[in-house]
C-alpha cells in the first residue's frame, strides 16, 4: 500500500488538482494547472526545509542557510541546486533559469486576467519539473501515486478533515465580524460616528445576564488576540482546553448575532422552492436561477432555501449537494449551512477528495457541501441518484464546460450575483433582487457613479462618447495597445486620483481602492500616488499600499484587513483588476482605470455600497467608461 506522510499531503493535493485540470485540457484548465504546478514547486521546497532532520532522512542544514534559502522563490531554487549537486551528488535534471521562465509565465497569468493561456508544452514542462522536485526531495514518485488513485489501487492518504483549534477560533471570528458588519447598519442606523465591533457586541448582548455578557465579551476579545497571533505567526498563549472553551463561546455569540432574514430573502427562497417543485414534477433538470446583487446576503437566501427543501415532504428522499467552484466559498458555505442545520432533519458534510463520498451522495439525510472539481472527480467513479438536487452557488455555468455538463445531468438550481454565470436560454429567472432595489430599500448605501474619462493626452478633445465602444481613446493614449503605461499617462492618472480622493474624503480615515489592468501597473501607479499624496505635501499623513503577486500571504492579509478596518491608517489600496471581488469594508471610494466585464463592474459596485462599516455613501470613479456601456445590465 502506498502511503503519504502528513507533511506532503498539501503538496500532493496541489499536484493532483493540477493533473485533473491538465487532463481536462481547456484554456481555464491550463491556467489552473500552470499555477498549481508552480505553487507545488515552491511548497515542496519550503516544506522540506522546515522539516525536522529526522523527517528528511537525517539530513541537516545550518539555520542561517535555511533562512537564506527560504527568503524567496529564486533562493529556494538555489537550495534545490545545492541539494541535487552537493547532497545527492547528481547532475541537475533541469536548469534554474528554465524554472524561472515558467514561474514568470505563472505571474503573467495573474496580470493578464484571463487573456493569457499557457501553451500545452509549457504545462507539460512545468509538470515535469514539479514532479521531479517532489520525487527528489521526498523519495516517492508522483506518477505512481496518481496512477494508484486512477486504477483504484490502495493509497493511504491520511485525512485532514479536523481543523486545528486555533484556526477554528479564527474562522469563527471571521463569521462573527461579517454578522457585526450587517448589524452595524441595522441596529445603529442613526449613529453619528461609526460603531466599533465591541459596541455592536455590547448592543446585541444588552439583555443577557451580567455573567453571560461578560463571558461572551471576553471570548470576543480573546479571539481577536488569537487572530492577531496567527496573522503575525506568533505562538498562541492558550491551552487546548482554553481553545475548546473559546470555540464553544464563539458559537454561542454567533447564534446571538445571526441576522434575521429580510423580506426579499424569504420571498426569493420561497420562489426557489416553488420552482423546484415544478421542475421535479415536470422532470426538468435545469430548475432556474436566483439572481441577487452582491452585498445583499445571497448566501443567507440559499441557506433559507435549503431549510425549506429539507422540511418539505416532497424532498424527504432527495439527496442535496451544494457546490461552488471556489474553495474559500465552499468553506464559508459549509460553516453557514452546518450552523443552520445544527439540530435539523439533515446532517451536513464537507466532501473533499479525501472523504468517502459514494455513500454520502445517496444518503437522503445528508447535505453535502463540496467544490465543482471534487464533484467531477466523484462523477467518474460513482453513479449519482436520479433525484439528486444540486445547488450551484456562484458557478460560471458556461455552455460546453465539464462542470456544466455534469450539473445538467442532475436537478440544478443556481444562486448567483453574476448575470453572466446563468446558462443562456436554459432555466427560468426565478427571482431577482437588484442593486437598484437594494439601494431603494436602504440595504446598500447611496453610490455615486462618476464617469471621469480624461482628455486624450496631447489633445483638447475628450474621450469617445460612444457608449458601447470597446475602445477608450484616453486609455489607449496612456497605455497603447494594452502595453505598459506611458510615464505621462501614469502621472496624469495619479494626480487626478489624488486630487479627487483628497477633495471627497470625509476625514483622514477615509479609504479607497484603485483598480488597474495588471499587477505591474499597480506597482507603478502605487509609486506615483505616493509621490502625489506624500512627497508633494497634498496629504502627508496618507498611506498607500499595493497588492502584487510578490507579497507573502501574511502581507496580503494585512493589506486586505487594513482596507476593511476603519481603524487602520491605510488610505489607498492599489491592485490589479482580478481583485474586483475583495471585501472593501470601510472603503468609500473606488477608482477604475481598466475595462471590466459587466458582472465584475457590478460586483465591485455592490461591495463598495455595502453598509457594513457604517459608511453613509460611496463613489465609484470610472476612467474607462465601464458604467455607461453596462448600466442597463445591473443585476
How confident is the model over 122-175, as pLDDT tens digits? 888 899 899 999 988 988 888 777 776 655 444 544 444 445 677 777 777 877
Average pLDDT of the chain? Answer: 76
CA 42 to chain centre: 21
**pLDDT at residue 350 tops 80:** yes
Long-range contacts of 204-210 (CB under 8 A, 24+ apart): 204/256, 204/257, 205/256, 208/256
Strands (E) in 394-488, as ranges, are 411-416, 428-433, 447-451
pTM as predicted = 0.56
- Residue 304 to residue 580: CA distance in whole angstroms: 27
- Element housing 309 (H / E): helix 298-311
CB 172 within 8 A of CB 257: no
State yes or no: pLDDT of 627 exceeds 70. Answer: no
CB of 226 closer than 8 Å to CB of 166: yes
> 629 pLDDT band (50/70/90 cuts)?
very low
55 has pLDDT over 90: no
Per-residue HEC secondary structure of 514-535 comes to EEECCHHHHHHHHHHHHHHHHH
CB under 8 Å to 264, separation ≥6 — which residues?
296, 433, 437, 441
Beta bridge partners of 412: 286, 390
Q: Enter the CATH code of domain 263-433.
A: 3.40.50.300
Count Cβ atoms below 10 Å from residue 293 Cβ, excluding itself.
Answer: 25
On whether the CB atoms of residues 51 and 11 are closer than 8 A, the answer is no
CA distances in angstroms from 29 to 61, 117, 274, 634, listed in the order given = 38, 9, 36, 29
State the average pLDDT over residues 263-273. 92
416-440 mean pLDDT: 76
* DSSP state string for 38-101: HHHHHHHHHHHHHS-GGGGTT----HHHHHHHTSSHHHHHHHHHHIIIIIS----SS-HHHHHH
Q: What is the pLDDT of residue 34?
A: 87
Q: Choose among 346, 333, 348, 343: nearest CA to 300.
A: 333
Least confident range from 209-218, 239-248, 278-287, 561-570: namely 561-570
497 half-sphere exposure, CB direction, 13 A CA radius: 35
In this structure, the dihedral spanned by the alpha carbons of residues 299, 300, 301 and 302, taken in order and rounded to 10 degrees, is: 50
**Does residue 220 contact residue 169 with C-beta atoms inside 8 Å?**
no
pLDDT digits (tens, 9 = 90+) for 566-576: 666 678 888 87
Which of 438, 141, 433, 113 is CA-nearest to residue 291? 433
Query: What's the confidence (pLDDT) of residue 191?
Result: 39
Closest to 358 measured CA to CA, from 388, 398, 316, 337 = 388
Classify residue 37 by burial, with Cβ atoms within 10 Å: 0-12, 13-18, 19+.
buried
Q: Is 421 helix (H, G, I), strand (E, B) or coil?
A: helix
The DSSP bridge partners found for residue 288 are 413, 428
List C-alpha distances in Å: 182 to 94, 177, 293, 442. 53, 9, 15, 12
Q: Is 330 exposed, middle or buried (0-12, 13-18, 19+ CB in 10 A)?
A: buried
What CA–CA distance (Å, rounded) separates 203 from 477?
A: 53
Q: What is the pLDDT of residue 557?
A: 64
CATH topology assigned to domain 442-633: Rossmann fold (3.40.50)
Instruction: Please give the pLDDT value at position 277.
Output: 92
Min mean pLDDT across 153-162, 392-401, 501-510 is at: 153-162
Q: Is the pLDDT of residue 468 over 50?
A: no
Sign of CA dihedral 71, 72, 75, 76: positive
Amino acid at each position: 500500500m502506498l502511503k503519504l506522510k502528513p507533511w506532503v499531503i498539501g503538496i500532493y493535493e496541489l499536484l493532483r488538482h493540477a493533473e485533473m485540470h491538465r487532463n481536462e485540457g481547456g484554456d481555464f484548465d491550463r491556467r489552473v494547472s500552470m499555477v498549481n504546478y508552480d505553487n507545488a514547486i515552491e511548497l515542496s521546497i519550503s516544506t522540506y526545509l522546515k522539516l525536522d532532520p529526522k523527517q528528511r532522512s537525517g539530513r541537516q542544514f545550518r539555520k542561517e542557510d535555511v533562512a537564506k534559502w527560504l527568503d524567496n522563490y529564486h533562493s529556494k531554487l538555489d537550495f534545490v541546486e545545492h541539494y541535487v549537486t552537493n547532497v545527492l551528488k547528481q547532475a541537475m535534471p533541469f536548469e534554474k533559469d528554465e524554472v524561472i521562465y515558467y514561474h514568470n509565465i505563472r505571474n503573467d497569468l495573474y496580470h493578464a486576467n484571463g487573456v493569457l493561456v499557457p501553451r500545452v508544452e509549457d504545462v507539460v514542462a512545468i509538470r515535469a519539473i514539479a514532479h521531479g522536485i517532489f520525487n527528489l526531495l521526498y523519495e516517492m514518485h508522483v506518477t505512481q501515486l496518481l496512477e494508484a488513485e486512477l486504477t483504484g489501487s490502495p493509497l493511504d492518504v491520511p485525512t485532514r478533515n479536523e481543523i486545528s483549534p486555533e484556526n477554528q477560533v479564527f474562522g469563527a471570528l471571521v463569521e462573527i465580524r461579517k454578522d457585526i458588519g450587517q448589524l452595524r447598519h441595522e441596529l445603529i442606523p442613526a449613529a453619528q460616528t461609526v460603531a466599533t465591533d465591541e459596541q455592536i457586541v455590547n448592543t446585541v448582548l444588552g439583555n443577557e445576564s451580567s455573567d453571560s455578557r461578560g463571558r461572551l465579551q471576553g471570548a470576543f476579545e480573546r479571539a481577536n488576540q488569537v487572530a492577531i497571533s496567527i496573522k503575525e505567526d506568533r505562538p498562541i498563549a492558550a491551552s487546548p482546553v482554553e481553545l475548546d472553551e473559546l470555540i464553544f463561546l464563539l458559537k454561542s455569540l454567533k447564534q446571538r448575532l445571526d441576522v434575521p432574514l429580510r423580506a426579499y430573502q424569504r420571498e426569493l427562497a420561497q420562489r426557489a422552492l416553488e420552482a423546484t417543485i415544478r421542475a421535479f414534477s415536470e422532470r426538468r433538470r435545469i430548475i432556474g436561477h436566483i439572481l441577487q446583487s452582491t452585498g445583499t446576503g445571497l448566501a443567507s437566501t440559499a441557506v433559507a432555501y435549503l431549510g425549506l427543501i429539507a422540511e418539505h415532504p416532497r424532498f424527504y428522499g432527495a439527496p442535496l449537494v451544494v457546490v461552488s467552484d471556489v474553495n474559500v466559498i465552499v468553506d464559508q458555505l459549509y460553516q453557514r449551512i452546518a450552523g443552520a442545520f445544527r439540530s435539523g432533519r439533515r446532517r451536513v458534510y464537507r466532501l473533499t477528495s479525501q472523504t468517502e463520498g459514494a455513500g454520502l451522495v445517496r444518503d437522503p439525510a445528508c447535505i453535502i457541501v463540496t467544490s465543482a472539481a471534487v464533484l467531477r472527480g466523484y462523477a467518474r467513479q460513482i453513479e449519482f441518484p436520479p433525484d439528486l438536487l444540486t445547488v450551484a452557488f456562484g458557478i460560471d455555468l458556461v455552455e460546453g464546460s465539464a462542470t456544466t455538463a455534469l450539473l445538467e445531468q442532475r436537478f440544478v438550481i443556481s444562486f448567483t450575483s453574476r448575470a453572466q454565470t446563468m446558462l443562456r436560454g436554459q432555466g427560468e429567472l426565478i427571482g431577482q433582487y437588484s442593486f437598484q432595489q437594494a439601494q431603494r430599500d436602504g440595504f446598500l448605501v447611496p453610490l455615486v457613479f462618476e464617469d471621469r474619462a480624461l482628455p486624450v493626452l496631447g489633445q483638447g478633445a475628450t474621450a469617445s462618447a460612444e457608449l458601447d465602444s470597446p475602445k477608450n481613446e484616453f486609455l489607449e493614449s496612456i497605455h497603447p495597445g494594452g502595453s505598459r503605461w506611458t510615464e505621462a499617462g501614469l502621472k496624469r492618472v495619479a494626480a487626478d486620483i489624488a486630487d479627487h480622493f483628497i477633495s471627497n474624503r470625509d476625514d483622514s480615515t477615509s479609504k479607497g481602492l484603485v483598480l488597474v489592468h495588471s499587477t505591474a501597473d499597480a506597482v507603478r501607479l502605487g509609486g506615483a500616488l505616493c509621490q502625489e499624496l506624500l512627497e508633494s505635501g497634498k496629504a502627508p499623513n496618507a498611506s498607500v499600499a499595493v497588492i502584487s503577486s510578490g507579497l507573502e500571504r501574511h502581507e496580503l492579509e494585512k493589506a486586505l484587513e487594513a482596507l476593511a478596518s476603519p481603524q487602520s491608517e491605510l488610505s489607498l489600496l492599489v491592485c490589479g483588476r482580478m481583485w474586483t471581488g475583495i471585501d472593501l469594508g470601510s472603503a468609500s471610494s473606488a477608482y477604475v482605470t481598466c475595462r471590466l466585464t459587466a458582472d465584475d463592474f457590478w460586483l465591485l459596485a455592490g461591495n463598495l455600497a455595502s453598509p457594513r462599516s457604517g459608511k453613509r455613501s460611496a463613489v465609484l470613479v470610472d476612467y474607462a467608461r465601464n458604467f455607461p456601456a453596462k448600466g442597463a445590465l445591473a443585476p
